[in-house]
Structure 1
Amino acid sequence: MTETLHTDPAMAAHSKAFEDAYQAARVARRTLYSRAVAYAAALVRTQLPEAATLTIDAEERELHEVLDAKGNTLWHAPSSAGHGLTDDITDEANCLLSDTIPFGSLAGAARWKAAPQGLPFRTIALPEALAPRAADHSALAVRQSASQGRAMVRASEESAAVVHATIGPGLDSFAIDGVSHERETRDRIRAAIVNGGYAWPTGRVTVTVESVAARPLGSMHDLAIACAILGAAGHYGPNALTNVAFIGELGLDGRVRPVPDVNEAARSAIASGCTIAFIADDDLSTIDVAGIGIYYVENLHQAVAALQGFDRANS
């Protein structure tokens, strides 16, 4: 969107509210599409477990073709009717597409590519099948406490980590206590916040990690720590962080980067009681976990905009 400078306070407030709502809608749209793809994959793989790619007719809003990882056709409409996929599965998949596509043109949706047959056919790679659950992956969930100026980040019980972000008086500083970490971690988070369009909080910014695990802090915790700091700085209210997990590395420019083993991390978030997880937009084709709502974000600003929407909705 093109940003317009408004000097009138009332108009500026309307502009900011619209921008926040627009960003939240973009996040919700990507989430809807990703969950629709995951749902369709689960439906199709009940009868075609090797399914790797779907082709749809975007105008008719119907499933057109199912391919395996080598590009071989497993099912094709209408010639395969009654074979490979039963009518009830194709009908449910078509209903899913009919409900999803009206929420926005697939032309602007990431990873919905024009099919070799040409438009209106579009193709989408399905998420990978679930891998065996790893025994030790952490997924930080952010929860804001009632005490002013303090945010709490809590990991799943599997890693038993709790992170507090506080902003106190004193000379400007940033410290991460309680767990070993590289200096680059602090530099990366600070740069991501500033380059993401937020002023770095004045005073003593302290992140304290309480963990029984002896592992160093990983980059997958960047997004959670940054959101905790911004929550403590007042960029969104205490009602935003109800069972919300954040799984993502931050780039110096504030972009959210994918992390290895995102599925295992999401399962850990579920185990800790989280109902929503924020992950990198680039992890859309990788995530394949049921039982938790997924919000895909490209950058830190989108994450905060969504949290501001959560706060208003829960107030």
Structure 2
Amino acid sequence: MIVQQDLNNVINTTREKIQQELTRHLHQLDIPLQLKNSMIYSAEAGGKRLRPVLLMASFNAYSNDINKVLSSAVALELVHTYSLIHDDLPAMDDDDLRRGHPTNHIKFDEATAILAGDGLLTFSFELIANDPQLTDKQKVQLIQLLSKVSGPKGMVAGQIRDMEAEKKAVTLEELETIHTLKTGELFRFAIRSGAYLGEATQEQIAHLDKFAHYLGLIFQVQDDILDVTGDAEKIGKPVGSDEANEKNTYVKLLGIEGAVEKKDYYVGRAKKELSAANADASYLMALVDYFSNRDH
């Protein structure tokens, strides 16, 4: 059984590895200084690094040489960072703060922020393509999946669905679809690619795909709950901002108790899929509870 202290050590160790690799890759770029500083500013602004943690935990469920997935984990974090920069733009969420610091377009300017996001996204694919740890087949598989989950069939689709749903009533099914695309698809890449590189079977990967779906929903429900009950300093934004911005949330649709109930249902489903993938003794199982009970 994995105790919380073990999990915390794994998360902290993974974050340190990812931070080192992020710094190494970005600081060696020979690009215009304004663009470089802008990319580094957001990439090194902290954050939980949950997606790389998931990718490496998924890999560790089936294999051990973590160096094989480091570049892929960094690439995933770069895509996530790009999405945050663009989400914060005046044309999107128009946020001034991210993780307690000025957002990229406030720190630099709007045009630079757009280009920094573009740079991070495209550089992520270059990282995978140039990874000496991967075979050509593995590179193609990962680039194909990352482009799909982050593109117009994945995260980008979720973002526009979310924007279109603002100030409108949506059903629970529609809300699940939005968050499956907007948040869950990058989790899906983390889980699938980690297991794939760890040489899990196709049947195991199929169960993990369903696991990733539920984990993304767990993450979002807890986000919605924290917007009502959380500590503003810990979550990095004002409590109640979702309601103030008339966003559709699980709490708005179901109330606090209903949202907690729905989250518990997702937790049960996620753990069932992990067991079916023979990964119930892995750190992934402990991460389900970590996602469900996080306070920021």
With normalisation by structure 1, the TM-score equals 0.24
TM-score between the two structures when normalised by the length of structure 2:
0.25
Answer 1 or 2: which has greater helix percent.
Answer: 2
Q: Going by fraction, where is strand more abundant, 1 or 2?
A: 1
